Every structure is written in structure tokens, then in C-alpha cells.
Amino acid sequence: MKLIFEKSAAGHRCAILPPCDVEEVALPAELTREAAPKLPELNETEISRHYTELNKRVHGVNCGFYPLGSCTMKYNPRIDEETAALPGFTAVHPLAPAHTVEGCKEALDTAKAYLCEITGMDDMTFQPAAGAHGEFTGVMLIKQYHDARGDSKRRKIIVPDSAHGTNPATAAMCGYDVVNIPSAPNGCVDLEALKAVLGEDTAGLMLTNPNTVGIFDENILEITRLVHEAGGLCYYDGANLNAVMGVVRPGDMGFDCIHLNLHKTFATPHGGGGPGSGAVGCKAALAPYLPNKDGIRVRSFHGNFLVVIKALTYLLTLGKEGVPEAAKNAVLNANYLQSKIKGTFTPAFDRLCMHEFVLDLSGFKKETGVSALDVAKSLIDYGMHPPTMYFPLIVHEALMLEPTETESRDTLDEAAEIFRKLFELAKTDPDYMHAAPHNAQIGRPDEVRAARNPILRYSFE
């Protein structure tokens, strides 16, 4: 398909500006540009067709099953969008006098109160624009806490080897040394490995629970106790909160601060590059270091305000009973799908899971030559988005599935049947799967070339 710049034709436009009714003022020469910006010129029909064409080429939650593990691709209710589009929320300015935007303030305060209640935290900021930004903010809180106490020897952040890659990256960006600890054979934190690295140089631990293999770490209270005993703080990566929201609170597990991905767990759209909201909550001891106070900012104003409105709408729609019910259904759906797939592909950890589970295709690959990548690509031919591949790194040939609570039993049955078909097909026609997908507009893009020689902007030459 043509890029929007290639569709551009001089003079095409969709907006007709009204005549200027104020006196024209010339900008000083140093503020005016020498050449006009090279913006694409299209009329409304052309723009509409352009985006519709793009829409046809992607797979979203509105198109079909999207069990992308760790990403919580749940359906985003339309009512969230409708609320966020109310003029009372959209036609305001962040610098408007406080008494003219009291409704917005109340919406933010209400969202904060509910989310603090769900997470067991005392205070929260909505400034961070997304998850990794929230992580950075959260770990900076930990750093500020130690620095304010003059405790400068705490240089290390502990991260399990099953963690999301953003955790060690965040710790490093905050200037900490990252200490990786191996997972126990059951995929959880190895208590002995943790004890071995804890000490007076420990700044904190970053953990997600349930963890990245979809297992709730039953030693969590012992883990957070050990870290606190060593003088460190515990950071909860909210990536997997969908499994436990409204059921158990990170604050009660012993965590001191947390980031939430409002754009995934609380059903505002994500996966398209934003906007997101990486709200950061913390216990009272860290609250003095939150952004928004004393002019400390990680982003302008209240962050992505309308994303918070969507999350608040989601919470109000589900209510106190609905939030834990959604979490329990997410866990039920994952276990249902895991049990239906078991017997063909092998779960990496053969036990009850939380909201997601990981398949280990290493034995299958040895037997048939068909890799996790081949299976993922083959699923595209069935109108299903592939699961997360090759993550977490502690499982070889991993496929990680997270069906979410918003899928019906029929969808899960259908998905299990597709997996069974592919399991059989790999034995009879592996070459067909090596070349999959066969019906997609794009088959196997050259990821290596894209990573080595990325083309990041349109060239007008």
C-alpha cells in the first residue's frame, strides 16, 4: 500500500479556514521558518480511505482473538471512549483556573482513591505516560528515599531472570547496578539465591506477581520481608495485575511502590504506541517524593488525563464486585485454555496458572523441526493473533498465552482446536509451517534486516 506521503497531491485539503477576523501580526524573522513543512496534502475522502486501508491490514482485539501473553489484550468497552469524549473532559485546558475544572479534579481524585484501594497504596501520581515511564518514576522514588536518609551505599537493584526486560533497564537508567537472580525450578523466586545477594548495598527488588510464567509466588510475604530486613524496598511491576485486581493487594504483599498500566489492565486501548498511563502508587513513606509536589515532574500536568478517565469509567462500570470477577474470569479462561491445549503442546510448568501460561515447544521442535516461531506464524492463517514468542527467556521455544476475561468459551475452544490442528500438521507437513503464514498480506518480514538497517523516516528524495 502507498504511504500517506505518496498519496499526497498539492492543493488537496480537508479544512477550509474561516477568514481571519483579527489583525494580522508578523512574527519576528528569527521565529519564522524558511521553507514550508513537508506535510502530506489529502482531502477528507483520501484520508478516510487511507486509515480504513491501514485498519484492514492490522489485527486488533476488535478483529479476533489476541492472546498475546503479558500484554492483556482485553476488549476495551465503548463506554470508556464515550466518557473520555465528553466535552467537559476534552474542552478544558490544564492551565484553566482550578475553580473552572473542579469536575476534572474530582474525576482524578476518585480514580486515585479507587486505584489506591485496589493496590493497597497510600498515594499515587498519574504523570508517567506509560509502563516503562512508571517504572522509572517508581524506582526514582526508591532512590530518593535512600538518598534522603543519607543511605548512599545502596547501589543494587535485584531483578529475577524471568523479569520483563524493562525492569533491569529501568534500574540501570536510574543509575543502579542490576543484580540478576536465577529462578527456582518452579519458575518462582529462589529464596536462597535472593538471600545470597541481599545486603546493605541492596536498594530494592523489582518483581511482578503473578510472575512472567503466570504463577503466583506463594513465598511473596517471605520475599518482601527479607528485602525489608536488609533495608531495601520492594517495587511491584503492575504488568500482571489483571490476574489479581480486587482479589489481593500488592500493598498487602509487602510492596512499597507500584506502577499500573492503566492502558492495559484498566481497559483503555493499547498496543498502538499510546497514549498510555503508567500511574505510580506508593506507601506513605515514599509519598513525599512523588512527582507533582514541589515542582518535581516526570511529565507535564496530569499525564495523559483522558486515559485516566477511561480507566475510571471502566472501574465505575465494573464496580466493587465486577473488578475481582474480571480478574477471576481471566484466571479461569487461562486455565481452561491451558487444560484444552495440554495433551498436544506441553506447558512449561504443569500446574494451575494465573492469567497466562507458557508452552515449552523445545521438545516439539526437536521432534518435528517446527519452532515456536513457525507455530506463531501459522496461527495468523487462522485469523488469530500469535501469542508472545520466546519470552520469558527462562523457557526455550516459549509461547506465552493470555486469553483475558473478555473471551467466550467458544473462542477458547476454537483456539484450542487450531492448536491441535497445527500440532498434527507439524508431523505431516512441517515445510508448510516453515513457510507460514500463507494467507497474510505480509508473510515473514526480514526482522534481522529491519533491526540492522532500520528506516525510521520517509525520504523525500
- Could you list the residues that contact other proteins (CB under 8 A)? 165, 362, 390-391, 393, 396, 447-448, 451-452
Of 256 and 360, CB closest to other proteins: 360
Contact present, 432 and 425 (Cβ < 8 Å): yes
Residue 272 C-beta: closest distance to other proteins, Å: 22
Residue 296 C-beta: closest distance to other proteins, Å: 31
Of 65 and 391, CB closest to other proteins: 391
Compute CA 285 distance to the chain's CA centroid, rounded to the nearest angstrom.
Answer: 27
Contact present, 60 and 66 (Cβ < 8 Å): yes
Dihedral through CA 20, CA 26, CA 30, CA 36, nearest 10?
40
Of 165 and 319, CB closest to other proteins: 165
Residue 212 C-beta: closest distance to other proteins, Å: 13
* Nearest C-alpha neighbor of 77 from the set 63, 91, 65, 61: 61
Residue 365 C-beta: closest distance to other proteins, Å: 11
Question: What is the number of H-type helices and E-type strands within the chain?
Answer: 17, 10
Of 367 and 417, CB closest to other proteins: 367
Residue 44 C-beta: closest distance to other proteins, Å: 40
* Structure-block grid coordinates of residue 351: 500446574
DSSP structure string for 404-457: -TTS-HHHHHHHHHHHHHHHHHHHH-HHHHHT--SSSSS----HHHHHHS---S
Residue 158 C-beta: closest distance to other proteins, Å: 15
Of 202 and 335, CB closest to other proteins: 202
Amino acid at 373: L
Residue 397 C-beta: closest distance to other proteins, Å: 10
Of 284 and 393, CB closest to other proteins: 393
- Measure the CA–CA gap between 363 and 348, rounded to whole angstroms: 11
Of 79 and 394, CB closest to other proteins: 394
Residue 127 C-beta: closest distance to other proteins, Å: 28
- Measure the CA–CA gap between 58 and 382, rounded to whole angstroms: 14
Cα–Cα distances in angstroms (integers) from residue 157 to residues 34, 192, 201, 234, 413, in the given order? 50, 17, 9, 10, 42
Is residue 210 reached through a cis peptide bond, with omega within 30 degrees of 0 on the bond before it?
Answer: yes
Of 174 and 290, CB closest to other proteins: 174
Of 34 and 447, CB closest to other proteins: 447
Q: Burial code of 114-146, b = ≥16 C-beta within 10 A, e = fewer?
A: bbbebbbbebbbbbbbbbbbbbbbbbbbbbebb
Amino acid at 262: L
Residue 451 C-beta: closest distance to other proteins, Å: 4
Rg (CA), the chain: 25
Cα–Cα distances in angstroms (integers) from residue 162 to residues 180, 281, 390, 391, in the given order? 9, 23, 12, 9
Neighbours of 394 (CB within 10 A): 17
Of 123 and 135, CB closest to other proteins: 135
Residue 159 C-beta: closest distance to other proteins, Å: 12
* Structure-block grid coordinates of residue 308: 485516566
